[in-house]
Amino acid sequence: QEKVVTGLVTDANDGIGIPGVSIVVKGTTIGTTTDIDGNYTLSVGADATIIYSFVGYRPQEIVVGDQTQINVILSVETENLSEVVVIGYGTVKKEDKTGSVTSVSSKDFNRGNITSPQDLLVGKSAGVVITSAGGAPGSGSTIRIRGGSSFNASNDPLIIVDGMPIESVGNNVSGSSNALSFINPNDIETFTVLKDASSTAIYGSRASNGVIIITTKQGVKGSPLKVNYSGSISVASPIDYIDVYSGDQLRKIANDNRTLYDPLIYDNLGTENTDWQKEIFRTSVSHDHNLAFSGSEKNIPYRISLGYTDQTGILENTDMQRYTGSLNLNPTFLNNDLKVNMNAKFMMTNNNFGDTGAIGSAVSMDPTQPIYDGNTSSAGYYQWQNYGANLGTPNPVEQAKAVNNKSDVYRLVANLKLNYTLPFLRDMQANLNIATDYTESDGQNNRPTTSPSTLVPSSWGKLSDYTAKNKNNLLDFYLGYNKEFNENHRLDLTGGYSWQHFERESTNYTRSVEDETHPLQVDNDTASETENYLVSFFGRMNYALMNKYLFTGTFRYDGSSRFSEDNRWGFFPSAAFAWKMHEESFLKDVDVVSDLKVRLGWGITGQQDISDNDYPYQAQYISSQQGYYYPINGEFTSTLRPNTYDPDIKWEETTTQNIGLDFGFLNNRINGSVDYYFRETKDLLNLVTIPSGSNFSNRLYTNVGSLENKGIEVSLNVVAISTPDMSLNIGLNYTRNDNKLTKLLLTDDPEYIGVTEGGGMTGVRQITRVGEAAHSFFVNSQVYDANGNPIEGLYDDIAGNGGVISGDNANKYIYHNPTAEDIFGFSARFNYKQFDMSTSLRANIGNYVLNQVAAGASYDQMQQIGYWKNMPTYLSETNFVKRQFTSDYFVQNASFLKMDNISAGYTFDKFAGKDINARVSFTVQNVFTITKYDGLDPEVDGGVDDNFYPRPRTFTMGVNLTF
């Protein structure tokens, strides 16, 4: 029967009543709010449960029972130790985790115009470095957890979405620039990052580079229909341009240096002052809309969301439209014994990639020329008539606008999870997870016949069509046993089987055409298909002794179809121990210390994502395409080539040791963790030069090397202010990782210089050498004059052999590397009444970048096959007549401090007089960068700055309505 309950809701911090607290009877829409002093009155049934919640505070649930007065103390939400954290094939309470696991939940995500999930996480977690490829709409990112354990094999982490390990980032289908973009960022509840082997080893052969588990939002049982709309509109514009010569400046250089240039070329000097970069970049407007319905219908909790994103790039003719839908149902049956969780996510993306080559063309296109000259053979655009087609710089405006480089990508990720508590053994649960991940793309990259920017004559166009399909099916079955014997012994066992099948198909058809229907020449007509399987057995034991000493052991026994029977199976164990010191008697009563835990972990993980070849151990012959035929017995026939293979190829194995400390003080208002790790990878797969005559190519993917990573990670969260009206949360993280190759070859040749990297034009400029960091810069040591200016072509003769020094590997030395030594992340959230503000900053220290834009600048290159070419004004600093690609002068310290975003918002409890909770916000992304680096942006994926798509500054207005 109904009765009346009254009470007072107060703040744990100062004991003062809190007004406006939401009070709802669980499973109903019945409720009220507290008055100005924090008092409330509510009629309820005796078996009801009341939920007390208020923004910024941890909600509480209280069973009414026979109480009539219920006073509630709410405390400000800080790090909540009883929260559960998702781990591999299960969950664990945060206070009981033994591995290096961090989770980032929606309230901590980066804000702004974010279209891709990983951008939510940038800078938020120690040891996780996310570098976007650039500012193109929907572009992907490189994610590295603890520096990467491989050299030639994949260094991407395993990504698991709602229990489904998705296709690795490296196998992203063509036509899709971002393997994660199928998830609407608004649907994500948490990211959990598993970093050390004791937490990842249950994923065995795919776990060496860490695991990211993404959990999406779900409906809540018993809650009424809630509708949420969020939308934003963003304006993006280029932050800066590369400083190049104007038409007038180029004319002056041309006239001042007549001895350098062909006399005939002066006929081609124009009269304009075209700023080509301004012609191809623009201020772009994007918008984003999301609608989510969640609630519970006949005891079936549901969440349905729809999303639409229209992102426009700052480069002409680049944009992306994305439609997402997601459905989550999580009903329970049989008296809660059978829990069902069904997820389906669908995405459709229309990409328009444009031609990012225009960015480089805009730097080098002759500024003395006009955009249009009315030449009909090139659709009115000015073009280099003799050579534009082949070797010259195409008109950047035409290059950007005329291309049709578009793709459509469809993706469905769906799974059904069943969790059944065995009626005869209540501590045992059986789990079944069936999942599928299906992606299809088709795209084209076409150029009209009036376009000279392809390698065809100016009267030709190019047509290219491609398709790709990835299928990935999963079946997991595992049993969990969870028993608390008494307060001293708690046991949690998990064991199971996993099967996963990957299939990939693609086609490509490229031809040069006179018009759409008259192919003149087929350049490429290929189709490929490939598949691989993973079959695994796994298990985990968690044992807690006296709630103080925690032991975890896991194993995985993995079979991969990529290896021969002799090497197919790998065993990947791990062990961890944690000591909850704050539970010890000597700390239990020390109020200041709310959490103190030491963690020790050890484990072995593997890597089987080895290359683009799914059959590396099998001897096979590959046939050739047309154009690569040879006549036998008078007929042109496809040729069959034995492919290089290593019958003994096997897993890479990484052994990780981790020691960590979790701490929390003052009721966890100050909390954080420190981790030190040491990782050693052996049987490292490397594409090595093999002895000539021993195999079917000059290089072979084989297990030869070893490498080490060691590092330290610190994270710290502080609730600096916590009052009902005001709160300030600050997060800090620090990462240091040292990467060193310890073996690289079949032989131990002390003279071996290492694996070199560099183009045919630039020469070798990067190297991976034993004892050094991977991809270190390998350059000549520049000699300077008395004024500190580089002397062209003069370098230290390191080898002492005389002769030509520039470009000679014997005279190069290792000079820094692209990876940052120290990485800092900082974020802050501030609330004052209904007003909130947040910001994220990052700093990378000790990363170096080779400024290729500057290194390519020289006076002699300002003329090219009869035409003028522009140069960046770096040239006025070096005054180099010839290009000096290998000078260390161009390897520059690119340490930086960036403010990634700053956001302010205001929340209305009642919007337009209705029961609508509304938040409006304003966000700026890429606010500022402080760096000594000369180029546009010091954050360069891979370390060679060569005209990538610049990251824009974006202003976003957002609104979020809930009713």
Restricting to residues 520-549, name those near another protein by CB under 8 A: 520-521, 523-524, 526-533, 535
Instruction: Give 397 or 774: the residue with its C-beta nearer to another protein.
Output: 774
**Position among 637, 789, 834, 876 found at the interface with another protein (CB under 8 A):** 637
Residue found by looking up tokens 């300002």 in the block = 862
Residues 203-242 that bind another protein (CB under 8 A): none
Question: Which residue among 260, 334, 865, 930 contacts another protein (CB under 8 A)?
Answer: 865
- Rounded CA-CA distance 34/102 in Å is 36
The verdict on 699 binding another protein (CB under 8 A) reads yes
Q: Which of residues 478-507 bind another protein (CB under 8 A)?
A: 499, 501
Among 14, 751, 785, 915, binds another protein (CB under 8 A): 751
Per CB under 8 A, does 928 bind another protein? no
Task: Tell me the window of 115-123, 423-431, 762-770, 897-905 that interacts with another protein (CB under 8 A).
Answer: 762-770
Closest CB 503 distance from another protein, rounded Å: 8
741 interacts with another protein by CB under 8 A? no
Tell me if 276 sits within 8 A of 250, measured CB to CB. no
Query: Does residue 600 bind another protein (CB under 8 A)?
Result: no
682 is a contact residue toward another protein (CB under 8 A): no
Task: Enumerate residues 6+ apart whose C-beta is below 8 A from 571.
Answer: 555, 556, 557, 604
| Of residues 106, 229, 219, the one with CA closest to residue 911 | 229
Q: How far is the CB of 489 from another protein (least distance, A)?
A: 36
715, 731 in Cβ contact below 8 A? yes
Q: What track of x and - describes contact with another protein for positions 604 through 633 (by CB under 8 A)?
A: ----------xx--xxxxxxxxxxxxxxxx
For residues 250 to 279, the per-residue mask of contacts with another protein, x marking binding by CB under 8 A and - elsewhere, is ------------x-----------------
**Using alpha carbons only, what angle is made at residue 199 by residues 194 and 205, rounded to the nearest 5 degrees?**
90
For another protein, the closer CB: 637 or 834: 637
For position 246 contacting another protein by CB under 8 A, the verdict is no
Residue 437 CB, nearest distance to another protein (Å)?
17
Residues in region 766-805 near another protein by CB under 8 A:
803-804
Residue 543: helix, strand or coil by DSSP? Answer: strand
Q: Which is nearer to another protein, 334 or 527 (CB)?
A: 527
Q: Does 693 contact another protein by CB under 8 A? A: yes
What does the alpha-carbon distance between residue 781 and residue 788 come to, in Å, rounded to a whole number?
Answer: 14
- Beta strands 835-845 and 60-63 are unpaired
- Rounded to a whole number of angstroms, the minimum distance from the CB of residue 881 to another protein is 12
Q: With respect to another protein, which residue has the nearer C-beta, 569 or 955?
A: 569
The reply on whether position 752 binds another protein by CB under 8 A is yes
In the complex, what is the shortest distance from the CB of residue 388 to another protein, in angstroms, rounded to a whole number?
A: 11
Shortest distance, position 853 Cβ to another protein, whole Å: 18
State the Cα–Cα distance between residues 342 and 329, nearest whole angstrom.
5
Rounded to the nearest 5°, which phi and psi values hold at 146? 55, 40
Contact between 910 and 887 under an 8 Å Cβ cutoff? The reply is: no
CA distance 101 to 84: 12
| Identity of the residue, 627 or 771, whose beta carbon is nearer to another protein in the bound complex | 627
Q: Taking the complex as a whole, how short is the minimal distance between the CB of residue 633 and another protein, in angstroms?
A: 7
Q: Which of 102, 324, 607, 702 binds another protein (CB under 8 A)?
A: 702
β-pair partners for 961: 229, 918
Task: Yes or no: say if 493 and 481 are a contact pair by the CB < 8 Å rule.
Answer: yes
43 vs 620 by CB, closer to another protein: 620
What is the smallest separation between the CB atom of 804 and another protein, expressed in angstroms? 7
* Identity of the residue, 478 or 602, whose beta carbon is nearer to another protein in the bound complex: 478
**Whole-number Å distance between alpha carbons of 361 and 726:** 52
- In the complex, what is the shortest distance from the CB of residue 807 to another protein, in angstroms, rounded to a whole number? 6
Q: Alpha carbon 954 to chain centroid distance?
A: 19
What's the closest the beta carbon of residue 432 comes to another protein, in angstroms?
19
Q: Under rule CB under 8 A, which residues in 398-457 are in contact with another protein?
A: 455-457
Give 677 or 778: the residue with its C-beta nearer to another protein.
778
Q: Give the three-state DSSP class for 256.
A: helix
Q: Which is nearer to another protein, 642 or 771 (CB)?
A: 642
Give, as ranges, the residues between 645 and 674 that touch another protein (CB under 8 A).
Answer: 645-648
Of 6, 642, 738, 834, which lies in the binding site for another protein, with binding defined by CB under 8 A?
642
Residue 193 CB burial class (10 angstroms; 0-12, 13-18, ≥19): buried
User: Which residues, 6+ apart, have CB-to-CB distance to 687 below 8 Å?
Assistant: 152, 611, 699, 700, 701, 755
Q: Do 203 and 556 contact (CB within 8 A), yes or no?
A: yes
Q: Which is nearer to another protein, 429 or 458 (CB)?
A: 458
Binding mask 553-582 toward another protein (x if CB under 8 A, else -) reads ------xxx---x--x--------------
Identify the residue whose tokens are 């990983």: 118
Q: Are 210 and 149 in contact (CB under 8 A)?
A: no
Rounded to a whole number of angstroms, the minimum distance from the CB of residue 107 to another protein is 43
777 with 888: CB under 8 angstroms?
Answer: yes
In angstroms, give the least distance from the CB of 890 to another protein. Answer: 17
- Give the one residue of 698, 789, 834, 876 binding another protein; rule: CB under 8 A: 698
CA-CA-CA-CA torsion sign (68, 69, 73, 74): positive
Can residue 726 be called a binding residue for another protein (CB under 8 A)?
Answer: no
Count residues near another protein (CB under 8 A): 99
Pairing of strands 652-665, 670-689: antiparallel
Under the criterion CB under 8 A, does residue 371 sit at the interface with another protein?
A: no
Pick the binder of another protein from 760, 788, 802, 913 (CB under 8 A): 760
Q: Which of residues 878-917 bind another protein (CB under 8 A)?
A: 883
Comparison of 701 and 949: residue with beta carbon closer to another protein: 701
Smallest distance, another protein to C-beta of residue 188, A: 33
Q: Scan residues 337-356 and list those touching another protein (CB under 8 A).
A: none
List Cα–Cα distances, 288 to 346, 836, 925, in angstroms: 17, 21, 16
* Minimum distance from residue 170 beta carbon to another protein (Å): 16
Q: Which residues, 6 or more positions from 245, have their beta carbon under 8 angstroms from its beta carbon?
A: 253, 367, 870, 871, 873
| Of positions 694, 788, 802, 915, contacts another protein by CB under 8 A | 694
Q: Does 859 bind another protein (CB under 8 A)?
A: no
Indicate the burial class of 912 (C-beta count within 10 angstroms; 0-12, 13-18, 19 or more).
exposed
Q: Return the residues of window 798-857 that contact another protein according to CB under 8 A.
A: 803-804, 807-810
Cα–Cα dist 139/136, whole Å: 5
**Beta carbon of residue 387, minimum distance to another protein (angstroms, whole number):** 6
Question: In whole angstroms, what is the distance from residue 935 CA to residue 850 CA?
Answer: 10
CA distances from 642 to 530, 611, 621, 634, 811 (A): 18, 18, 4, 23, 38
Q: How far is the CB of 206 from another protein (least distance, A)?
A: 15
Work out how close the CB of 514 gets to another protein at its nearest, in angstroms, rounded to a whole number: 11
Q: Write out 9-54 in H/E/C secondary structure.
A: EEECCCCCECCCCEEEECCCCCEEECCCCCEEEEEEECCCEEEEEC
Query: DSSP secondary-structure letter at 157?
Result: P
